[in-house]
Amino acid sequence: MSFSVSANMRSFPLGNLLGPDATSKLRPQSAEEEFLEIAKKSPLERLRDKILEDMKMSEEDIAAMSPEDRQVVEGEIKRRMMEALQASTDTGKVIDKTA
């Protein structure tokens, strides 16, 4: 038994099936898009992102947790943020040293 693919089969863009925003979510971000996404965040948001990255977690992971587990994780994030803020008392501002 053999199968053949017809040369005149049409290809359908995946974006048409998934909606107008789907193709932008499927393709990787350009360096400019990635930079602009980071630049829009406040220093505290970037610090939280860095802490989550260090914990190997995402906001989606936290949202999926039970309220008790989420409270524990949020407490750890708060503790780490306070440590970082206290360590950055050089000029009284939050310093993002990840860049």
One-letter-per-residue 3-state SS of the chain? CCCCCCCCCCCCCHHHHHCCCHHHHHCCCCHHHHHHHHHCCCHHHHHHHHHHHHCCCCHHHHHCCCHHHHHHHHHHHHHHHHHHHHHCCCCCCCCCCCC
The per-residue pLDDT of the chain, averaged, comes to 77
Q: What whole-number percentage of the chain has pLDDT above 70?
A: 64
What is the reported pLDDT for 93?
Answer: 60
Q: Which two tokens stand for residue 43?
A: 């220093």
Is the pLDDT confidence value at 23 over 70?
Answer: no
What is the reported pLDDT for 53?
Answer: 94
pLDDT tens figures, 54-72? 999 999 999 999 999 999 9
- For range 22-32, the mean pLDDT: 75
